[in-house]
Amino acid sequence: MGMIENFEKMLAAGQDNALLRYSLGNEYFKKGDAPMAVEHLARAVQLDQGYSAAWKLYGKVLTELGRDAQAMAVYEKGIEAADAKGDKQAAKEMQVFLKRLRKQAGGV
């Protein structure tokens, strides 16, 4: 049984939490299933709005799907969450990703 199957089994057993959803999102993304990854990452940040790693991956997957406007909004929220937790590295990385997206969109 693979990682996704194990995580899905845990979810089906009622163990729904931000870490599990992040793990599922990450595994689906690695497998190339970005739509499923987005679904789980959206739930992860819903369950824990301070989970900066989940915000960062969520933005990355949205960018991969070409949903740049949503990705920018996610990065903005992720930066706020990271700043609130003192997670300077995650905030810095998301600022770089956000800046790139804004530049591609023709903004600053």
Is this structure's pTM higher than 0.85?
yes
pLDDT value for 108: 56
23-58 pLDDT, tens digit per residue, is: 999 999 999 999 999 999 999 999 999 999 999 999
Task: Kindly provide the b/e burial profile for residues 77-93, where b requires at least 16 CB atoms within 10 angstroms of the residue's own CB.
Answer: bbbbbbeeeebeebbeb
Q: Round to whole Å and give the CA distance between 100 and 62.
A: 14
- What three-state secondary structure class fits 32? coil
Q: What is the mean pLDDT of the chain?
A: 96
Ordered alpha helix ranges (H), 65-87: 68-85
- The fold adopted by the segment(s) 3-104 is 1.25.40
